[in-house]
Homo-oligomer: A and B are copies of this chain.
Amino acid sequence: MLGMICVRACSALVGFRAPTCVRSLHSFPGITVAQIDEEVAKLLELKAQLGDDGKTQFVLKTPKGTRDYNPKQMAIREKVFNTIIRCFKRHGAETIDTPVFELKETLTGKYGEDSKLIYDLKDQGGELLSLRYDLTVPFARYLAMNKITNIKRYHIAKVYRRDNPAMTRGRYREFYQCDFDIAGQYDAMIPDAECLKIVHEILNELDLGDFRIKVNDRRILDGMFAVCGVPDDKFRTICSTVDKLDKMSWEDVKKEMVNEKGLSEEAADQIGEYVSMQGGMDLAERLLQDHKMSQSKQACAGLSDIKLLFKYLQLFHVTDKVVFDLSLARGLDYYTGVIYEAVLTQAGTVSAANEAQNDTNADESVSVGSVAGGGRYDGLVGMFDPKGRRVPCVGVSIGIERIFSIMEQKAEASPQKVRTTEVQIMVASAQKNLLEERLQLISELWNAGIKAELMYKKNPKLLSQLQYCEEAGIPLVAILGEQELKDGVVKLRVVATREEVDISRADLISEIKRRTEA
């Protein structure tokens, strides 16, 4: 058995299935030490899973980087989704859905360096397919395919990234994105401001502690690169390096720019000055006067829009949380204008305790505490349109996995138990041989819309029925006994207080509804 698994690990390594295990190094031209280390680790992990006896037939697990959600996690997830969906609906969004996989070519050329993280499906004869990497590219494909020029939609669904960092760093390979986007040719910054208002509303309502929303503009970044002397063909790669400022010191970022990306020290230093700037509308005004920055038309357009954005955000009363931050870059290629990212500022304790499973983002830029991000992408739909017709878009993605983790932690810390069902009443019996009577009663309750359970036993003990209610948090019990059946009543028991009253069968449903109204 170990041999077979070993062969698989080898074949995964070299890309084909061989009938033997590790052969000489000559069989693996181009293999690196790191690759060997990785494969050895995999084999050892497999060995550990096999246990001492080596008898286990197969590995009982979910694929690497994925997880199941148990009922308690689902109850929390439902609560978070409801808050987010309520907000999206409040802002008049429709919703759409797209397939979990797209034609491979639909995703090609949209994600820059991250394209290597795309999951491909096996070529089983037919189209070449890939799992979606985000919801934005499928959205753009949907708009172009259906020739839609105006829509405000949300889309909540799972996306897939074959990210290397293991579960220990908490980066999932399958995770949810909650996207809200506005497509259409509109007056500047009005939809953009609404996206930020939405982030503000959701983070407030979820009650995750204080937060900041950083904003910047790709045109300001590009203009800044231009006036600092970055060659045109290095804009994107230098932008990727700037994007690491939330995880790396400026010194390290500078080193990467100069040593790895070949930027001049002088240019790097000039960038360093700008990316340390943070402020509000005042900073945008100051930079519009800046002798260097003002030389770039692009930067000026971006700065004017930032000013306008802040004006609208003031009317929404949300500027207390918004910072214009020149170090914000964001990884994806497709942004063309305003970009933003929300970070939790009080999440230190939570994220420290929860580091192991916590810093996944439902979004491409990973920084500890980041819970939402987005921006304007006016060129993406045109990439799909045969005639290149542009549909300007702006949107935001809520990084739900991190929010789940925080909510889960909160639930753990709270004395209140998370209920995983909404059952209002248990139909129980005090004596033997009353299964038929229980079935008849519960059927009446279900038909009246009451959420009810019974134990699937002919003769359950009353005590075990009551204990089940306490464990599951069911508030009421309808107890049937011979006397009650004779009298045409049901004994209604309140689990919390142990109070019991006889209720006539005719009044039972209204009495249950009265007592369980939220």
Contact = CB atoms under 8 A, between A and B. Distances in A.
Interface of A: 8, 11-13, 15, 42, 55-64, 66-71, 74-75, 77-78, 89-103, 105-106, 119-129, 131, 141-142, 144-146, 151, 153, 158, 160, 162, 174, 182, 184, 186-187, 190-191, 193-194, 197, 201, 312, 315-317, 384, 386, 420-423, 435-436, 439-440, 443, 446-447, 449-453, 456-458
Copies in the complex: 2
Contact of A122 (B75, B89, B120, B446): B120
A203 to B, nearest CB: 14
A124 B128 contact: no
20 contacts: A8-B128, A12-B126, A15-B123, A58-B106, A59-B105, A61-B145, A62-B99, A62-B145, A63-B101, A68-B97, A68-B99, A68-B142, A78-B95, A89-B421, A92-B423, A100-B174, A126-B162, A190-B456, A201-B446, A315-B440
A191 B454 CA distance: 10
Contacts of A99: 62-63, 66-68, 174
Nearest to A78: B95
A75 B78 CA distance: 19
Nearest to A128: B8
A451 B69 CA distance: 31
A46 to B, nearest CB: 10
User: Top 9 nearest A-B pairs by Cβ distance?
Assistant: A71-B94, A186-B456, A66-B99, A92-B453, A120-B122, A69-B97, A190-B456, A315-B439, A94-B420
A386 B60 contact: yes
B122 A95 contact: no
A121 B122 contact: yes
A126 B64 contact: yes
Contacts of A446: 90-91, 197, 201
A227 to B, nearest CB: 31
A43 to B, nearest CB: 13
A98 B68 contact: yes
Contacts of A69: 96-98
Nearest to A14: B125
Contacts of A187: 435, 456-458
Given A123-B12, A456-B191, A386 B57 contact: yes
A518 to B, nearest CB: 14
A456 to B, nearest CB: 4
B124 A121 contact: no
A483 to B, nearest CB: 21
A312 B439 contact: yes
Contacts of A317: 443
B58 A102 contact: no
A316 B384 CA distance: 55
Given A56-B386, A64-B126, A100-B100, 8 more contacts: A58-B103, A63-B127, A67-B99, A126-B162, A184-B456, A190-B435, A312-B439, A315-B443
Contacts of A74: 94-97
A78 B95 CA distance: 10
A63 B100 CA distance: 10
A468 to B, nearest CB: 10
Contacts of A105: 58-59
B162 A124 contact: yes
Contacts of A106: 58
B451 A90 contact: yes
Given A100-B158, A315-B443, A316-B439, A145 B60 contact: yes
